[in-house]
Amino acid sequence: MRGPHNIWRLIVTGATLERTGAMGVVLDAMDAPRPLRILARTLGWPFKWLGYKGDVNMPPAPRALTALGPAYIKFGQVLSTRPDVVGEELAIQMRVLQDKLPAFPIEVAKKMVTQELGLPADEVFSEFSEPVAAASIAQVHQATIAETGEVVAVKVLRPGIEKAFRKDIDAFYLAAEMIELLSPASRRLRPTEVITHFEGVVLGELDLRLESSAASEFAANTGGDAGFTLPAVKWDLSARRVMTLGWADGVSLGDNDAIDGAGHDRSVLASRVLELFLQHALRDGYFHADMHQGNLKVAPNGDIIAYDFGIMGHIDEYTRRVYAEILFGFIRRDYKRVAEVHFEAGYVPADRDVEEFARALRAVGEPIFGMDATHISMGRLLTYLFDVTERFGMETRTELILLQRTMVVVEGVARSLDPHMNIWQVARPVVEEYIKGSIGPAAVVRDLGKTAKVLARFGPRLPALVEAALIRQAGDVPVEEASKTKSRSVWFVAGSAVGVAVLLTIQWVWF
C-alpha cells in the first residue's frame, strides 16, 4: 500500500491540525522556532478545509489526534507524560487519550465476544457492564463470570482497528522515506527501520492472544517484586480479539487528588515506578513498554498495579549489560568509561577518537548534575546525546528504541507524581545492584560455566569437526602447511578438552 497516494494522508494531517486549532497549540507548547512555525502554517493553512473536524467538545490537540486515528493517538499518549516538554496544561489535556476515548456500543462488544469465544456472551457472563475505559486499540468492560461469580475485566478490540492502524503506519512509511530522500544526514537514524520496528510492536498489540502470553510471562518474572501486582489472565475466556483478566481495584496513577485522598505517598510511588521499570529492564530483559498513567493503578494496600500488556520490550543480556554500564557511568560521572563502552559495543565507529568522545559526553552529563531536581530531565539528556552521537557517526540502535522511549515515559509518570524527584538518586541503587550481579567476578564465573556447558555438549564432535575442516582446507593449501595446521588443531582440541574440564570443576566448586 505504500506509495505517493499516502501524500494525501500527510496533507490531511496538517490540515486537521490547522482546522482543530491544534497547530498553534502544539507549536507554542514545544516552543518551536520561527522558521518552523512559518513552514508549518504555510503548508497547513491552504488545506485547512480538508482537515477532520473532530470532537468539538475536546481540547484542540486531543481533538486533532483522535480524529486522525490510532497511531496518532499513541503519539499523544507519549506527550501526555511529558509536561516538561509540552507544558503542564497540554500534558493534562492529552491524558484523555489514555483511557477516556469515545467507546463503541456494548452490543458490538458482546457480539465480538460471542464470535471469539464460540459461546453467547450472556451465557458466559452473568453481568456485562458498559465500557469502563476506552483507548486507541480496545475498550474494557467489567463482567462477572456466570459459572464462578468472579468479577473480571474483559478487553475487546475496536472493530476495524487493524485496517485503520495499517493506514496510519502506511503514511508514516512515506514520511520516513521522504525524510531520507530530502535529508541524507537523517539516514544515520534509519527512520524507515524505526517505523518497521514500531509497526511490529503495534501489530503485535492487535492480537490479544499475544498480549495474554506477555501478561503471563511478565507475571512469572515479577511474582516476587514487593509493591507490584498484576491481574491474572483467564486463558479459557481469551482469544485473538478478546482478553479476560482478573479485576483490579485501585486509583488511577494519573489522578493525584484521588491518590492523596486515599492516603498514599506520591513520592514513594514515584520512586517505585522508576525502580520497577529499571529492575524489569535490567534484571529480566522484559519490561512493560507502555507504562503511562492510563495503564497503572494504585491498589488500596499501596501496591502498583500494571495492566495492558500489548507492548512489551525485550533486550538480550549483552545489551542489558551495555545499557547498565552506560547509565552507571553517567551516574558516577565516569565519562571515559561511558565512551569506552560505546566503542566496545560497536555503537561508535572504531576510527573515532575515544578521548574526544569522552569529552563530548562530559558536556552532556555535567550540566545535569548540580541542577535542582525539578530541572533534571531524561528528555533533555536524550536530546543532548542525540546531538553528540550524530557528530560521532553513531547509528540508531533499533533494539534500544523501545527501551529509550519507555524510559522517557516512565520518567514523565514519576515526575507527574513527584516533580521534585531526582531520577539519578532513585536509579543509582538499582543499577549498582545489577552491575554487581552481572558484571562482577561471580558473573564472570557464571559466563565461563555457560561456555563450558556448550563446549561439553560439542566435545564428542570436536575431533570430527576439526577433521572435516582440515579436509576442506587441504585442497587449498600445500601438504606441509596442512600437516602443520592439523598438528595445531590436535593441540587445540586437547587444550579445549582440558579447558572444559577446568571450567566444569570451577563451576561445580563455585555453585
**Which residues are known to be catalytic?**
290
Containing 92, the helix (H) or strand (E) segment is helix 88-94
* All residues at 6 or more sequence positions from 340 whose CB lies less than 8 Å from its CB, including other chains: 354, 358
* Distance (Å, whole) CA 196 – CA 200: 6
Conformational region of residue 244, where left means phi above 0, alpha means psi within -120 to 50, and beta covers everything else: beta
Question: What cell numbers appear for 459 in the block?
Answer: 566435545
**3-state SS of 8-42?**
HHHHHHHHHHHHCCHHHHHHHHCCCCHHHHHHHHH
Write the single-letter amino acid at 475. Answer: G
Q: What are the CB-based long-range contacts (under 8 Å, 24+) for 492-501?
A: 492/466, 493/462, 493/463, 493/466, 496/455, 496/459, 496/462, 497/459, 497/462, 499/452, 499/455, 500/452, 500/455, 500/456, 500/459
* Distance (Å, whole) CA 503 – CA 263: 55
DSSP 134: E
* Distance (Å, whole) CA 206 – CA 455: 42
Phi, psi for 311 (deg, rounded to 5): -120, 110
The number of angstroms, rounded, from the C-alpha of 54 to the middle of its chain's C-alpha atoms is: 29
Conformational region of residue 421, where left means phi above 0, alpha means psi within -120 to 50, and beta covers everything else: beta
* Distance (Å, whole) CA 409 – CA 81: 6
For 174-193, the DSSP string reads: HHHHHHHHH-GGGGGG-HHH
Q: Is the dihedral of CA 83, 87, 89, 93 positive or negative?
A: negative
